[in-house]
C-alpha cells in the first residue's frame, strides 16, 4: 500500500468514527425527545411547538455561522432532525435496543 492510500485510510477511519459518534449523538437526542414527550403528555401539550422549533432552527444557523457550515445545509438538517423528534414524541414508548 502506498503512502497516499495509507493516509486516505487514516482519514476514512476518522470519518467512520465521527459518523458513529454522530449517530450515537442523534440517538441520545431522540431519547431526550422521548422524555420531553412524557412531560408534554402529562400537561396535554402538543408535540409540535412552532415557536420552540423556530428558536432551535435559528440556533442551528448561528452555529453554522460560527463553524463555517452552510446555513441552508443546517436548516435542512434541522428540519430532518425536528421531523424525527416529532415522530419519536408521538410514540412515547420509544426505547433503545440497549434498554430492552
Asked if 32 and 50 touch (Cβ cutoff 8 Å), the reply is no
What are the tens digits of pLDDT across the range 37-55?
Answer: 889 888 999 988 999 999 9
Residue 89 has what pLDDT? 85
Residue 93 has what pLDDT? 55
CA dist 71 and 60 (Å) reads 8
Provide the whole-model pTM: 0.80
The pLDDT averaged over each successive group of 10 residues in the chain (100 residues) is: 92 98 96 90 90 95 97 96 90 48
Q: How many residues does the structure list for the chain?
A: 100
Rg for the chain (alpha carbons), in Å?
Answer: 18
CATH class for domain 3-89? mainly alpha
Residue 100 has what pLDDT? 41
CA dist 17 and 8 (Å) reads 14
CA dist 5 and 89 (Å) reads 44
Residue boundaries of the structural domains of the chain: 3-89
Amino acid at each position: 500500500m502506498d503512502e497516499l492510500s495509507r493516509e486516505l485510510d487514516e482519514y476514512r477511519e476518522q470519518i467512520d468514527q465521527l459518523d458513529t459518534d454522530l449517530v450515537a449523538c442523534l440517538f441520545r437526542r431522540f431519547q431526550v425527545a422521548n422524555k420531553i414527550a412524557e412531560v408534554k403528555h402529562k400537561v396535554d401539550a402538543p408535540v409540535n411547538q412552532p415557536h420552540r422549533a423556530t428558536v432551535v432552527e435559528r440556533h442551528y444557523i448561528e452555529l453554522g455561522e460560527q463553524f463555517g457550515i452552510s446555513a441552508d445545509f443546517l436548516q435542512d438538517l434541522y428540519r430532518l432532525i425536528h421531523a424525527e423528534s416529532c415522530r419519536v414524541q408521538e410514540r412515547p414508548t420509544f426505547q433503545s435496543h440497549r434498554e430492552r
